[in-house]
């Protein structure tokens, strides 16, 4: 009875959250897994002899992985994620270093760097659709027109339609512009949280400025860098609205699994759309679960 009085009120307090999360998160994940193993496809040929909604095992997954278009979308996703993560980490760290060294009007620069994060991905995608106009001739607009005006015509590009494989890398540019300010804020907070005594002790020991950052400051930022990698990684896997705003739905140059899932849903191919969703869930879990395990072990050892 005493134990019930001890943990009962707390359980009662969190029980609505547990029920809501259990249904709307894990319940719907289970429902999606179930749908992905059925024959719930309306505009595609169903498995011979199987009725609609009949369970057909992992046939939808094997169909996806046997499709050259889906494999290409996975390659696009890998290229997009790599360029996006590296670019956001590089510019985020660079801006954090510049602000950490001390500049005038730091508040203004912080606001300028963080402003893109306040803009919706779709709205920025509409603007970048114009900036990344693929026309390189006299009617070029956006960045290509700017390069012409400043005498840098050799930099003109067809951007995301330049290559069926590597053109997707251009889509990472607006995403980097959007999120690198957030990464800057993370690293800048990390720099400001390092005690000044560590810097002074390193300088007294004769460390140069490069050695100070290399051996003292940067190691202190490793937990922040890991968190930033996880955030950017799972965001890159879910990137959808900015791609749709720039290139549209049915474009082989910028196809990624999220767009494939949208297309299949529009075609009422719910089973394969659910299968794509589960594949993305597994990819996200491969990023997030090791991170959670790592944090849990660190907390236990602390």
Calpha distance 196→209 (Å, rounded): 14
pTM (predicted TM-score)? 0.85
Task: State residue 50's pLDDT score.
Answer: 57
* pLDDT for the residue numbered 40: 76
Going from N- to C-terminal start, the domains of the chain cover 68-267
Instruction: Quote the pLDDT of residue 142.
Output: 81
Q: Scan for tokens 């809501």, then name that residue.
A: 20
| Mean pLDDT score across all residues of the chain | 84
pLDDT digits (tens, 9 = 90+) for 212-223: 888 888 888 888
**Rounded Cα–Cα distance for residues 17 and 23 (Å):** 10
Angle (deg, nearest 10), helices 28-36 and 270-301: 130
For 122-154, give the DSSP string: HHHHHHHHHHT----STT--HHHHHHHHTT-GG
| Mean pLDDT in residue range 11-21 | 86
User: Which residues are bridge partners to 55 per DSSP?
Assistant: 38
Q: Are 168 and 209 in contact (CB under 8 A)?
A: no
| Mean pLDDT confidence for 99-113 | 81
- Positive or negative, the CA dihedral 220, 221, 224, 225 is negative
Residues 240/280, Cβ–Cβ less than 8 Å: no
Confidence check: pLDDT of 131 > 90: no
At 110 the pLDDT is: 83
SS3 at position 238:
coil
**Residue owning tokens 């429902």:** 31
Report pLDDT digits (tens) over 33-67. 999 888 877 544 555 555 666 778 888 899 999 99
For range 87-92, the mean pLDDT: 93
Pseudo-torsion of CA 247, 249, 250, 251, nearest 10°? 30
For the segment 223-249, the average pLDDT, to the nearest whole number, is 87
Q: How far is CA 288 from CA 74, 114, 223, 230, 283, in A?
A: 19, 25, 14, 7, 9
Q: What is the structure's pLDDT at 10?
A: 74
Summarised one tens digit per residue, pLDDT across range 177-211 is 989 999 999 999 898 888 888 888 888 888 888 88
Look at residue 119 and tell me whether its pLDDT is greater than 90: no
- pLDDT above 60 (res 85): yes
Signed CA dihedral, 256, 155, 178, 142: sign only: negative
CATH number among 1.10.3720.10, 3.40.980.20, 1.10.1060.10, 3.10.310.30, domain 68-267: 1.10.3720.10
3-state DSSP assignment of residue 25: helix
Name residues whose C-beta falls within 8 Å of residue 202's C-beta, 6 or more positions apart in sequence. 211, 212, 215, 216
Q: What is the pLDDT of residues 244-282, one digit of tens each?
A: 888 877 777 888 999 999 988 888 888 999 999 999 999
**Quick count: other Cβ atoms within 10 Å of Cβ 76?**
25
pLDDT of residue 116: 86
């Amino acid at each position: 009875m005493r134990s019930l009085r001890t943990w009962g009120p707390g359980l009662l307090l969190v029980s609505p959250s547990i029920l809501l999360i259990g249904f709307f998160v894990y319940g719907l994940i289970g429902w999606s897994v179930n749908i992905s193993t059925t024959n719930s496809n309306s505009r595609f040929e169903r498995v011979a002899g199987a009725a609609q909604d009949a369970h057909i095992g992992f046939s939808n997954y094997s169909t996806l992985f046997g499709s050259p278009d889906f494999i290409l979308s996975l390659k696009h996703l890998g290229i997009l994620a790599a360029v996006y993560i590296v670019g956001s980490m590089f510019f985020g760290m660079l801006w954090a270093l510049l602000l950490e060294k001390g500049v005038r009007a730091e508040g203004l620069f912080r606001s300028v760097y963080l402003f893109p994060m306040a803009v919706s991905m779709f709205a920025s995608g509409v603007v970048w659709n114009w900036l990344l106009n693929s026309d390189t001739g006299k009617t070029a607009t956006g960045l290509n027109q700017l390069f012409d005006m400043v005498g840098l015509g050799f930099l003109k590009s067809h951007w995301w339609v330049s290559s069926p494989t590597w053109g997707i890398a251009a889509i990472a540019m607006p995403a980097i512009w959007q999120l690198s300010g957030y990464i800057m804020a993370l690293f800048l907070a990390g720099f400001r949280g390092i005690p000044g005594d560590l810097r002074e002790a390193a300088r007294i020991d004769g460390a140069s400025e490069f050695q100070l950052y290399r051996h003292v400051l940067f190691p202190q930022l490793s937990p922040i860098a890991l968190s930033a990698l996880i955030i950017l990684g799972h965001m890159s896997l879910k990137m959808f609205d900015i791609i749709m705003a720039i290139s549209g739905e049915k474009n082989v140059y910028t196809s990624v699994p999220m767009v494939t899932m949208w297309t299949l849903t529009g075609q009422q191919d719910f089973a394969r759309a659910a299968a794509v969703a589960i594949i993305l869930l597994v990819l996200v879990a491969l990023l997030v679960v090791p991170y959670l395990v790592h944090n849990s072990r660190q907390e236990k050892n602390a």
